[in-house]
Structure 1
Amino acid sequence: MMREEIEKVIEEVKDRVVEWRRYFHQYPELSFHEVKTAEKISEILSSFSNLEISRPVQNSVVADLKGAGEGKTLAIRSDIDALPIKEENEFEFSSKNPGVMHACGHDGHIAIVLGTAYVLSRLKDKLKGKVRFIFQPAEEVPPGGAKELVEKGVLEGVDYIIGQHLWTYLPVGKVGIVYGPMMASDDIFRLKIIGKGGHAAMPHQTVDPIAISAQVISNLQYIVSRELDPIEPVVITVGKIAGGTTDNVIPNEVEMAGTVRVLNPEVRKKIPEALERIIKGIVTAHRASYEFYFEFGYGPVINDERVVKIVEDVTKSLYGEEALEKIKPVMVGEDFSAYLEKVPGAFIFVGAKNEEKGIIYPHHHPRFNIDEDALEIALRILVYSAFELVEKF
């Protein structure tokens, strides 16, 4: 009987979830600038019943739902920011904000969690415990919005947290789960190598920062291949390098920037020292100097196995064993990690790719899109998982 009631309310809201997704897709806002997005979310939540709405930090919205019985407190999170990308899709609901686009699925995340709030608020009398819906700004830009919300106490009294990401690396109908480490830390480094410029035909009179940079970039990979356990996933990438102005001049300086991705927090701690040791050795050996900057970004997303098991069982009960994909961890970053450092929880991927519909482009691409059938799948998983988590743990 309970399942029939849940499905009835999901049927009521599923078309609105699609409408909400398309609305937010039309009006994307960049990280830390989600003013109208947050206002619209608050307006929609205010039209539901039984929710207590607050705005703990700028451009965030939090809604609390208290069930009729005693139970645990679960938080459900959605990120809400967009990216500085000019959309190349030609939809009726394409971005109306020039140079800004929901190219990562956060428009869908907003709609899914709004739909979840609607369903659970309608079924308040059947719900034990409490559910807190967190609409978080600035997932895309470190230090991210999650950290500030945690500092403001958004997890006070929360026992568990769950989140999901629409994922176009999985076909629609598939749900990706990982036990333990799922996504990597996202740290950055910047380096300036300071040499002595001069004529390119007389390199012996210079200290060539370009030649030194080539050796630094090559040797940084020895950290991964020769200093760390080979079964520990680590990525060190130099993504930017700049130096010089023309073909016949050796410049004074070269600047570069890169990222480090790690799954193991203990390994992560070792990286800054290893980077600088190699940089210092090479640079000083060639009579140059350097300036090095390292910044810890998002931590790794590490799922709690008990919470993942609940979500896995819910997914199997709804969509069958064939819907589950026990995927490998991915080395992209996610500031959902800030929540998981405080309370146990689970983050899952919900497949949103559909080659037959031409939905094939990766995240952060100007033609990114999702199969909207994924919205209902994610909505259903969150709703049923919420009932399980507040009652059974």
Structure 2
Amino acid sequence: MDSSTLSTLIQIRRRIHANPEIARQEFGTTELVADTLRGLGLEPRVFPSGTGVFCDIGTGSGPVVALRADIDALPVTDEKSVPYRSTKPGFCHACGHDVHTTIMLGVGMELAPHAEELDGRVRLVFQPAEESVPSGSLDAIDAGVLKDVSAIYTLHCDPAGDVGSVGIRVGPITSSLTTFDVRLTHSDSGRARRADLIAVMSQLIVQMPRALQDALPPGRGMISSVVFSAVNGDLETGDGSALVTARGTIRSLSRDAWAEAPGHFARIADAIAGAYEVTCVTDFTQVAPAVTNDPQAMAVMSQAVTDVLGSGAIYPTPQSLGGEDFAWYLEHVPGGLLRLGVRSRGQISAPDLHSGAFDVDEECIPVGVSVMKATALAALRACVPALETATVAPDVTATVAPPNVLAGA
């Protein structure tokens, strides 16, 4: 990448970072992305919702390979003292989506001049609302971004990896995510009293993590985290009864656990509450299954990384407890997610994702562009779904990253 292109990309990244927009409000970011793509002679299409863009490079009749970036920010205060600090109090790009967007625009800049030489088409997807429920990936799929797509790839910033390195994993690389809402109620005629509802909720909070894990049949995977939050107690409902509510998340390491957890959770909660003659109502939202990297797709991606960075650049990455809505694309087509090292070389540690102090070493931008460009070109040549003889990238043991229930992928 020449210095002029890199300078342009850094300016774009800093502009996005300084002007964060949360889920489904990314109108300025959408306009910036679309204008940049038009400037490359491309024809971007904005999602029907008004936020989010997708765009094809090339006109060939061969396979279509998609590269996805997410564009939304978080309701987190920017704690950094940098020239590109967020100008919107209470909001910032604390998960690296500004970097993801910039990298995919960089791929567009690199490929657009050679569009007629491609063996098919590369589709750039700039997805809104990754941090939202329901997520923007569902909007993107409804908008047709997967039409004719053979494979889809993405990357995610990793503050645990040095710039110039890439984390690769075959199989599940994130956890599945379910949110829940619990309502405990009773009337004055019941044996329980208002204070008892607090005690019952306490029993749910203490007993549920272990009970839910034990409820899963052997071989069904495991629940990695059950976290209760936003507990509100002793609230009057207006009809003489009492109400205590809680919400939280269930994170699991397998699709089976993700599918079965709500039913077991509801049954256990009913049993605990019923012992106190308390009514329990539970509601669930299945936010996303685990991102599960396809072995053949990752063979292509691993080779692309090796070709541009060398084999020493790859580090094994554990399955994280973060959720990532990229998983919904993989319900339809094969693909994969890699972790892009963004920590400055020699730095021992860096602020984690979803922290107001999170930032990246901008040297990661040309690394990400080169890796994603090489992956797209290699996938076009390989036509991933038909690839049956690829060397599968080595897996790593199913270690789990330390819990960070707020973090994304």
TM-score, normalised to structure 2, is: 0.86
Q: By how many angstroms is 1:244 displaced?
A: 4.1
The Cα offsets for residues 271-319 of structure 1, whole Å up to 9 and x where unpaired, read as 1111111111111111211221111112221111111111111112222
How far apart, CA to CA, are the structure 1 residues paired with 2:324 and 2:213? Answer: 25
Distance 1:129 1:97, change over 3 A: same
Q: By how many angstroms is 1:220 displaced?
A: 0.9
Does 2:27 align with 1:35? yes
Secondary structure at the counterpart of residue 83 of structure 1: coil
- Tell me what 1:132 maps to: 123
Which residue of 214, 220, 229 corresponds with 1:226? 214
Q: Which amino acid aligns with 1:388?
A: A
- Tell me what 1:212 maps to: 200
Contact 1:197 1:207 in 2 (8 A): no
- Tell me what 1:22 maps to: 14
Secondary structure at the counterpart of residue 325 of structure 2: coil
User: What is the percent sequence identity of the aligned residues?
Assistant: 28
After superposition, where does 1:228-377 map in structure 2 within 5 Å?
A: 228=216, 229=218, 232-234=221-223, 235-244=225-234, 252-354=242-344, 360-377=350-367
Secondary structure at the counterpart of residue 214 of structure 1: helix
Aligned residues: 374
Q: By how many angstroms is 1:125 displaced?
A: 3.7
The Cα offsets for residues 203-233 of structure 1, whole Å up to 9 and x where unpaired, read as 9866601111121122212344422337824
- Tell me what 1:392 maps to: 382
Secondary structure at the counterpart of residue 133 of structure 1: strand
Q: By how many angstroms is 1:337 displaced?
A: 1.1
Q: By how many angstroms is 1:361 displaced?
A: 0.8
Question: Which is further off, 86-95 or 356-365?
Answer: 356-365
Distance 1:237 1:204, change over 3 A: closer
- Tell me what 1:56 maps to: 47
Question: Which is further off, 169-178 or 364-373?
Answer: 169-178
The Cα offsets for residues 95-133 of structure 1, whole Å up to 9 and x where unpaired, read as 112221111101111110000001011222432110111
Distance 1:290 1:21, change over 3 A: same
- Tell me what 2:392 maps to: none
Q: By how many angstroms is 1:65 displaced?
A: 1.0
Higher Rg: 1
Secondary structure at the counterpart of residue 282 of structure 2: strand
The Cα offsets for residues 69-90 of structure 1, whole Å up to 9 and x where unpaired, read as 6532111111000111121111
Q: Which amino acid aligns with 2:295?
A: E
CA RMSD of the aligned region, Å?
2.3
The Cα offsets for residues 223-248 of structure 1, whole Å up to 9 and x where unpaired, read as 44422337824222212322148xxx
Q: By how many angstroms is 1:194 displaced?
A: 1.7
The Cα offsets for residues 182-208 of structure 1, whole Å up to 9 and x where unpaired, read as 11222111111124689xxxx986660
Distance 1:206 1:332, change over 3 A: closer
Which residue of 71, 88, 105 corresponds with 1:114? 105
Q: Which stretches in structure 2 are left out of the alignment for 5+ residues?
A: 236-240, 384-409
Q: Which amino acid aligns with 2:251?
A: R
Contact 2:212 2:265 in 1 (8 A): no
How far apart, CA to CA, are the structure 2 residues paired with 1:224 and 1:209? Answer: 21
Secondary structure at the counterpart of residue 295 of structure 1: strand
Distance 1:70 1:239, change over 3 A: same
Q: Which stretches in structure 1 are left out of the alignment for 5+ residues?
A: 1-8, 246-250
Contact 2:177 2:258 in 1 (8 A): no
How far apart, CA to CA, are the structure 1 residues paired with 2:270 and 2:304? Answer: 52
After superposition, where does 1:43-82 map in structure 2 within 5 Å?
A: 43-49=35-41, 51-57=42-48, 58-66=50-58, 71-82=62-73
Q: By how many angstroms is 1:265 displaced?
A: 2.0
How far apart, CA to CA, are the structure 1 residues paired with 2:353 and 2:192? Answer: 47
Distance 1:175 1:224, change over 3 A: farther
Q: Which amino acid aligns with 1:262?
A: S
How far apart, CA to CA, are the structure 1 residues paired with 2:25 and 2:214? Answer: 43
Q: Which amino acid aligns with 1:266?
A: D
TM-score, normalised to structure 1, is: 0.89
